[in-house]
Amino acid sequence: MVTKFDHVGAEQRWQQAWDTAQSFAADDNSPRPKAYVLEMFPYPSGRIHIGHVRNYTMGDVIARTRRAQGFEVLHPMGWDAFGMPAENAAMERGIHPGGWTRQNIAAMRAQLKRLGFALDWSRELATCEPDYYGQEQALFLDLLAAGLVYRKESAVNWDPVDMTVLANEQVIDGRGWRSGAVVERRRLSQWFLKITDFADELLDGLSTLDNWPEKVKLMQENWIGKSQGMRFTFAVADSDTRFDVFTTRPDTLFGASFAALAPDHPISRALAENDPALAAFITQCRAGGTATADIEAQEKQGYDIGLSVVHPLDPGSRLPVFVANFVLMEYGTGAIFGCPAHDQRDLDFARKYQLPVTRVVAPEGEADTPISNEAYVGPGKLINSRFLDGMDVEAAKALVIGRAESEGWGQGTTAWRLRDWGVSRQRYWGTPIPIVHCDDCGVVPVPKAQLPVALPDDVTFDIPGNPLDHHPTWKHVDCPRCGKPARRETDTLDTFVNSSWYFIRFASAPADRPFDKAIAEQWLPVGQYIGGVEHAILHLLYARFWTRALNRIGQLDITEPFAGLFTQGMVTHETYSRDQGEGVAPLYYSPEDVERTGHGATLKADGAPVDVGRVIKMSKSKKNTVDPDTILATYGADAVRWFMLSDSPPERDLAWSVAGIDGAWRFVQRVWRLASEAAESAGPAATDIDLKLARVLHRSIEAVTSDIDRLQFNKAVARLYELVSAIERSPASPTRAEAIEILLRLVAPMAPHLAEEAWALLGQPGMIVDAPWPVADPALLVDDTVTIAIQINGKLKDSFETAKGADRGALEAEVLARDKVVRALEGRAPRKVIIVPDRLVNLVA
RNA sequence: GCGGACGUGGCGAAACCGGUAGACGCAGCAGACUUAAAAUCUGCUUCCCUGUCAGGGAGUGCGGGUUCGAGUCCCGCCGUCCGCACCA
């Protein structure tokens, strides 16, 4: 008897069966080829988001397919468990960050298990546990010993709400990425990782990442920001003071009309001590400094400090020196020379302070035309530049650099946008930095034997700032070197450090060291990494750096952690709202409270219509979220997984809709029906129709396999729909039975519970997770007839079936004899006949 | 401002290397089954014109170009989205 697919029973049954059989445990010692499939591990916020479901479903399809194809698959899961939300929860609710985090992990683990992912749970890790962060401390000490970690006093981005330092990457439009508070500048002693040491290799390495999206590589390239140029020294006239500037346009040096220092430049700060007006100007620059898009609108401002510098190529001439708000201390040397004619900012500045504008580059065929309000940045020949006159830009650059080098006042150099990674955080819920500060010995690393430096449990969050600093005893320790009383470092590591090596720990997690090199390298690099584009720069760049740092100190042979990267789109949903009148924000309604009708929607509560808004990213404020638990209970894991893969290409956004998930559910039932009907009746012998079905079947195997290979899940889904339709239309037969059995194997990575349940129903041996991936028979991939399109002047007029491989003459004769062709040509002969064998015939009339 | 991606039916989308545009799904319409509904199944569904059958024309954001032939290649616009943002 044909019944409905019982998703509740099937999910329980098969999840337990996989668990018992340890189906997804990755064996380090397996002789099979290895495949490492990884999705970005989640932050344990409390609930799985539907975006996670999409991400992990994609990874799961790849993992299950690879496994069926004979690979030993590593597909692990863990928790990026340190971070601010836990501390915020602690502050708001008076609970411990650890308790909150571990509860969330338990809840989310249960949710993930209900989705039936093929994960090796024996390798689960949480970054907040000492067995993980203790090993991270060991790695930190190794990098410190290798000179890749240093401490320096520096101006940092201080978030006044979170009371912490932020990395540059965590400052968005001048505001803290979490709190949204306007960031202040403070000077603090901070720990840094020397990522800039790797700038060149991180840039060059991008070209080896063939299976990364171009977009991500480009974003990283821009972030690293390599600029070739020249660094040279300005001597202040009538003084011993000197300062360096960096320029990418040494060729335009004869167009210089001023020099400018950053407000934070040491010279600026030193002068400000005796110049209240300058001090006030500097303060003003810092205040307005980073605020949002009005940087664009913000006027160039300068303060003339009354000094002048000697022009290095023309010692007789002098340039005035300003402190200017548009010069950044963090880039280059924190000082520039201004060439107004060929740099827009310099031009704006020069116009405001009535500085000379001298053109020194003129495009071909144009001489010394005056510069108006637009700087000329294009190519051309040098003018007004003495010994450079007549040269092109590149030659002039080389000549000036050569001259500076031989005369000793400058040299060719490279500037980077990338800055060293500040990892100190004044927070509790992070990896303690394993350092002791001793009055006598200075900065002393904690000996590895004393690791982990564990976080104390008894902390309070009622005082702003770092709880570790407030703890009565934790920071008081004896110096590991001299034994005298000393202080622990109370800063913790940026959470991005945690995620910079977790993929290595998944591959190998011995108790006594971070990882075993040989075992880890059996799995690494990750073959396919999947996650959101929001990590295109930070996480991915840091993980690449960390891997290269470990390589440099001899702990790893690989240089790139992720061979393949895929960034998936978001899950979106339309919004439902009602206008609240002029000037009032509309009221949004949750999808659960809304009834979707044909074109519009009504509120269940009052039956009156609501406005259906655009399909946008799910957010709490727009109430357009869906709860994975509710959906899972209603439709089952397989339908949810199927929907996550259907319709939209995986890199694009997927619009969640009730109609869509209903459709996925119908498909699950359809496959189930097909299998249960087939289980009841075997068929007679093969027929012609059988050959047709066999062809569809083998083409489906071929297409689905290559679609999954290329992560084009939506296309694989479409092929499976076609296969199901073809099977439904075919009469019972051995081929049909075989087709159903293969269909189940193709569907298994996407809807695994359904596949197992149907597999068992058909009396197949073992579990479908252990069944091999089907292989297409090449003989059945080719058809013996083809459809030839007939075009006249490139426009389709007719088509006909013919045997494959028909020769040109036969095709032409056949085409010219056809009624429609004769009529269309009105008796004339075509001027030209173009024949593409097995495809088309185009007649040019 | 700089850099990048994208633009195809009512909707999500397919279309290998330039060769029958719209596979597949959703929504919609019609029909079958049913006392009825649900479920399921079958058919239709880019637009316009003429229309019983059948036929004709247009069509992949807009305007040009290359080609026997362009969604696909080239040039110029328009629009949407994303990243960076005073980087010298």
Chain A residues 254 to 283 with C-beta below 7 Å from nucleic strand B = 262
Q: Is A730 near strand B, with its CB below 7 A from some atom of it?
A: no
**Measured CA A594 to C1' B32 distance, in angstroms:** 33
Token code pair at residue A809: 């003459």
0.90 surpassed by complex ipTM: yes
Q: Could you tell me where the DSSP H helices lie in A115-153?
A: 130-145
Beta-bridged to residue A611, according to DSSP, are A577
Strand B at less than 7 A from CB of A251: no
Task: Check whether residue A715 has its CB closer than 7 Å to nucleic acid strand B.
Answer: yes
Q: Is A296 within 7 A of strand B by CB distance?
A: yes
- Report CA torsion sign: A88, A91, A94, A95: positive
- pLDDT per position as a tens digit, A167-182: 665 666 667 766 777 7
Give the CA-trace dihedral at A746, A751, A756, A762, to 10 degrees: -60
Q: Which of A241, A251, A454 is nearest to A360 (CA)?
A: A251
User: A311 CA, B26 C1': separation in Å?
Assistant: 71
Find the Å distance, CA of residue A119 to C1' of nucleotide B64.
Answer: 56
pLDDT of residue A292: 41
Residue A83 CA to its chain's centroid (Å): 19
A295 CB less than 7 Å from any atom of strand B: yes
- pLDDT the model gives residue A296: 47
Residues of A657-682 as b/e, b for ≥16 C-beta within 10 angstroms? Answer: beebbeebbebbeebbbbbbebbeee
Handedness of CA A84, A85, A86, A87 (dihedral sign): positive
The reported pTM is 0.93
Q: What is the pLDDT of residue A684?
A: 58
Of A155 and A466, the structure prediction assigns the larger pLDDT to A466
* Per-residue model confidence as pLDDT tens digits over A570-615: 898 888 888 787 777 778 888 888 877 655 677 888 878 787 777 8
Name the residues in A335-374 having a C-beta closer than 7 Å to nucleic acid strand B.
335-336, 343, 345
What pLDDT, on a 0 to 100 scale, did the predictor assign at position A786? 83
* Strand B contact at CB of residue A293, distance < 7 A: yes
**Among residues A701, A673, A689, A633, which one has the least CA distance to residue A758?**
A673
Phi-psi region of A581 (alpha: psi -120 to 50; beta: other; left: phi over 0): left
pLDDT at A810: 84
Least trusted range by pLDDT, from A391-405, A436-450, A680-694: A680-694
Q: How many angstroms is C1' of B6 away from CA of A173?
A: 26
CB of A718 nearer than 7 A to strand B: yes
Answer whether any strand B atom is within 7 A of the Cβ of A233: no
Q: How far is residue A91's CA from residue A85's CA, in Å, rounded to a whole number?
A: 10
Which positions ≥6 away from A840 have C-beta within 8 Å? A788, A789, A790, A791
* Distance from C-alpha of A569 to C-alpha of A650, rounded to nearest angstrom: 6
Kindly report which listed range (A97-106, A644-653, A764-773) carries the lowest average pLDDT score. Answer: A644-653
Nearest-angstrom CA–CA distance, A295 and A309: 29
In the structure, how many helices (H) and strands (E) does chain A have? Answer: 26, 38
Strand B closer than 7 A to residue A214 Cβ:
yes
Closest CA to A334 of A246, A241, A231, A234: A246
- Mean pLDDT, chain A, rounded, equals 90
The distance between the two most distant Cα atoms of chain A, rounded to a whole number of Å, is 109
CB A639 within 8 Å of CB A11: no
For A54-64, how does the pLDDT look when each residue is reduced to its tens digit (9 = 90+)?
A: 999 999 999 99
**A777-816 confidence digits (pLDDT tens):** 998 888 788 888 888 888 888 888 888 888 888 888 888 8
Tell which residue, A167, A180, A174, A171, has the closest CA to residue A294: A174
Beta strands A164-166 and A149-159, pairing class: antiparallel
The pLDDT tens digits of the residues spanning A262-295 come to: 998 999 999 999 999 999 998 888 765 444 444 4
* Residue A365 backbone zone (phi > 0: left; psi -120 to 50: alpha; other: beta): left
Chain-centroid distance, C-alpha A581: 40
> How far apart are alpha carbons A736 and A728 in whole angstroms?
9
The tens digit of pLDDT for each residue in A730-768 reads: 888 888 999 999 999 999 999 999 999 999 999 999 999
Answer with the residue of higher pLDDT: A774 or A160.
Answer: A774
Q: What is the pLDDT of residue A288?
A: 53
- Tell whether the model's pLDDT for residue A682 goes beyond 80: no
With a cut of 90, say whether residue A461 has pLDDT above it: no
Question: Among all chains, which residue has been given the structure tokens 């060293």?
Answer: A420
Question: Could you tell me which residue, A485 or A376, shows the higher pLDDT?
Answer: A485
Q: What is the pLDDT of residues A71-95, one digit of tens each?
A: 999 999 999 999 988 988 888 888 9
**DSSP class per residue in A760-787:** HHTT-SS-GGGSPPP---GGGTS-SEEE
Identify the residue whose tokens are 């949004």: A588
Which DSSP string do the residues of A804-818 spell out, in sequence order?
Answer: TT--HHHHHHHHHHS
β-bridge partners, A38 = A529
Query: For residue A344, what are its two tokens?
Result: 């827009």
Q: Tens of pLDDT along A197-226?
A: 999 999 999 999 999 999 999 999 999 999
pLDDT at A293: 41
Residue A194 or A801, more confident: A194
Let me know: does A5 contact A672? Beta carbons within 8 Å.
yes
